[in-house]
Each structure stands twice: as structure tokens, then as C-alpha cells.
Chains A and B, each alone.
Chain A
Amino acid sequence: MKTPTELRYAESHEWAAPDGGSATVGITDFAQDQLGDVVFVELPDVGRRVAKGEQMAVIESVKTASDIYAPVSGVIEAVNDALDARPELINSDPYGDGWLVRIGLADASELAGLLDAAAYTASASEEH
């Protein structure tokens, strides 16, 4: 299971990649593997304000619909429109082309409260 060390993680299986005043957000390799084939993604509207921990998206696999939570607070600056036609990118490239949204950070210090790769791996393996 890939867990890149340069990313920050939420226990609810989202990752955040800080980039200036924004963070790109997606779901982890562990999460996509647990979900199985992703077939439908419902993303938030650009401009929506989300709070850390707030449900912001839904990913549907063949078997189930899963809520996705904002790992940080802020404003949705961009969403990955490619997922509309190719939701399977979340399975094939969860840290790259399968990204979900970019959030303009309301409070950059929230990033420090997220898990590092080692802590996330430990947390996810407990759940498994």
C-alpha cells in the first residue's frame, strides 16, 4: 500500500498536499483499495466553503457509497472534472490523476494537525 511521505493524512483516509495557500486533496491508496472499483464521484461546487471534518464529496464504488470529508477548512478552489468521465482514476492513480479537489486554506495551521505517513499507516492498519 503506497503512502507517500510528503503528504498529510486524515484518519478518515483523505490525503492533503500543501501547495502555497492551498492543498490538493484526494483519498489514499488504502481507501481506494478498500472501496474497490470506483464508478461514480459527486464533488462539491467550486466556491463552497467547507469546514475540517465536513462531508464534502461522495465516492461510489460498485458495492457502496462512501462519504468523503474535508481534511482541512477552506474554500473549494477547483475540482477534478476528469473524474466525471473516468472515476476509475481514483483506483489507478489515487495520489495523482485521481485527486478530488483543491481547497484554499482558511487556516494553514490545520495541516500540522493531520497525520504523517507513518502515523496514518499505523492508524489504517489498526482498522484493517
Chain B
Amino acid sequence: MFDPMKRTPLFEAHEELGARMVEFAGYSMPLHYQAGINQEHLTVRQGVGLFDVSHMGEVRVVGPAATRFLQYATLNDPGRLKPGRGQYSMLPNATGGLIDDLFVYREGEDDFLVVANASNTAAVVRHLQDLAAGYECHVIDESDTVALLALQGPGAPLLLGQLVDDDLGQVKRNATLDVILSGIPVRLSRTGYTGEDGFEIFLRPTDAVSVWNMLLAAGASPCGLGARDTLRLEAGFPLHGHELTERSNPLCTPFAWVVKDKEFFGREAMWDPGCATRLVGLRLTERGIPRQGYRLLDASGAPVGEVTSGALSPLTRDGIGFAWVSRELAEPGTELAVEIRGQAVAARVVQPPFHLT
């Protein structure tokens, strides 16, 4: 059956801006605009960038048992959240891996909004609904009724502050605030996926174009998925499908802090891993760009791991990436090599983030 690509409410706006559109998770999304990925990346590090991330999934979990259910279904502990706050979390499968990584907001005592990756939303909804049987709560996919923008960069609070009556200084990291943007109600969350200050903006799809244009007129630059990927990598954030997968144990990654010692789905399979390999950050000390799937070599030239994501850091101009590597070579400072087109290019194990050095 012909399955046309889905569009966010901003599809026409992206085309008008001359975006290079690509298929991502079934959506037609902007890879970059006319400025290009590098410039968009630097704009977010130094100014203010605006992303359309309306393709992301939003799943409501609501009911008297919602807290208890999400404490079982996710790896972080949403019971620690006050209403109006959010946390980074993960959705474990039965075999010690991850169905997705998530952001979980507590919107009320028994009311949570789970933000999932677009490519995994269907699987997240299915899994949560299956798992919620027997719990007094409902799992509702609200993805099609929520648009999401990300305003990111050191200038974001000032830019947004000019458009609202509220004091944005009171909005702490991972906290939310409902505001009116020139007559349009939106929910702000002080978070993002870039390593910079900024806000994610939840709003009605019918308001997306107005708010998008308002923020561009106020001085934000449009940024696409290309810059979103280099920014998150430079900031040391994982991307599900690369660093985190259905087969990778989060306890063997730098993101093990998310996993709280409590009862959760799949705990037996995940707990006490041997971690024969570990996920580490890599910085190339010679010129080159690590790419997903490239092999890591030890000093003798033997394969000891594999790159999961890589790029040339637009900020530092070094090749950077994440890789799985044998446990004994995972210490920061360990000298390794990445095999690039048959050549061993020198690299060092480092502790992300990569842009704050």
C-alpha cells in the first residue's frame, strides 16, 4: 500500500524557507536550511536556533495508578518528580535493552506526558498499553494533537522573555511553565537536546505556524535535524538506534545514572551485566571523521569495538563520536584507533561532552 510521508504542521513553512527535506521516521523533515548544518550548529552554540520537532511522540499516562505504573515501566523514578517537572528516562524491554529513551513530565499528581522518539512512538505506545493492563491508568497517544518546537541557544531566554509577561528566570532546568505567547497558549519546558540553555515549546498544531513565525521574527534562526544531530553528539547525548538500542544494556553506558535501583520491567535481564564492552566517547587525535559502523582497533591493529555515531565537531573541528569498546580499553585517556578507509586513525577515549574542553 502506498504510504505517503507524514508532515508536521510546519511542512509548508520549511519549504518556503528553502529547507532540504528528508524522510525521517516516516515524516518529511528539514535536514537543514539555506545556512547549512555547520552554520546552524554554531548559531545554537552562540545565538538562538529554532527546531521543528513535532514529529516526536507524546503519550499521556493518566489515572490513579499512573505513578506506580511508570515507576515499573521506566528506568528513572517519576515518583520523584513534582508536578510541573520532567526527567530523562528510558523504556526497558524484556531482554536488558531499550525500546526507547524518553522524557517524562509529571503534569499532575496522576498525569504524565511521555515524549518519545518519532521512530519509536508506535512501539512505545504498544508496549505501554500492553504493560498497563492491570494498572488503573490509561495510555493515550496524543502525538497527532501536539506540535513541538525547540528554541535552543544561550540567547533563548532573552528572546523568549521579550514575548511573554512571565519571568522565565523562575523556570528551572527540566521544569515547565504555561505561558501566553501573543495570545497563544503554550507550555514551555526548560530542556533540549543540544547542550545549550533553551526551551521546548508544546502547542496546538493549529498554532504552530504562528508561533514559528513569531520566533523567527524575534531573531531565532531555523535549524534542521542535521544540526540537531551534531549538537546532541557534541553535547554527549545518546540517540536511540545508535548508542542505545534494543540490544544494548544502559548500565554499560555513561547513562547508567538513569537506572534507579527499584522493581522495573525487565530488571532481571538488565541487572548485574558483565559489560564485556562499554560505551565511550572518542576524540580523534589525527584528522578524520568517525562514522557509524567503523571499527576500533587497539595498538596491535586488532578490532576492539565499533563506532555508533560520529561527526566532525563543528565547534572544535575534531572527529568525535561514541563507540562500544572492550571493557579493559574503556578508561578515559586510552589510546585507540578508528579504522577509516583501511587506515588506522589515532583516537582517545574521552568523557563527553565534547564541546566544553
Contact = CB atoms under 8 A, between A and B. Distances in A.
Interface in B1-45: 20, 31-32, 36-39
A42 B288 CA distance: 9
A69 B17 CA distance: 33
B287 A62 contact: no
B32 A39 contact: no
Interface string B291-323: 100000000000000000001101000000000
Interface residues on A, range: 10 to 19
A2 interface: no
A36 B230 CA distance: 14
A127 to B, nearest CB: 15
Contacts, number: 38
Interface of B is mostly: mixed
Contacts of B312: 39-40, 60, 62
B36 A40 contact: no
B132 interface: no
B20 to A, nearest CB: 7
A51 B136 CA distance: 70
Interface in A22-59: 36-37, 39-40, 42, 58
B341 A62 contact: no
A65 B294 CA distance: 12
Given A37-B38, A40-B288, A58 B226 contact: no
A65 B291 contact: yes
B20 A36 contact: yes
B289 interface: yes
Nearest to B341: A58
Contacts of A37: 32, 36-39
B112 to A, nearest CB: 35
Given A36-B37, A39-B312, A63 B226 contact: yes
26 contacts: A36-B20, A36-B31, A36-B32, A36-B36, A36-B37, A36-B226, A37-B36, A37-B37, A39-B38, A39-B312, A40-B287, A40-B288, A40-B289, A40-B312, A42-B341, A60-B312, A62-B37, A62-B226, A62-B230, A62-B311, A62-B314, A63-B226, A64-B291, A65-B289, A65-B341, A91-B36
Among all A-B residue pairs, the 5 with the closest Cβ atoms: A62-B37, A37-B36, A39-B312, A37-B38, A37-B37
Interface of A: 36-37, 39-40, 42, 58, 60, 62-65, 91
Interface of B: 20, 31-32, 36-39, 226, 230, 287-289, 291, 311-312, 314, 341
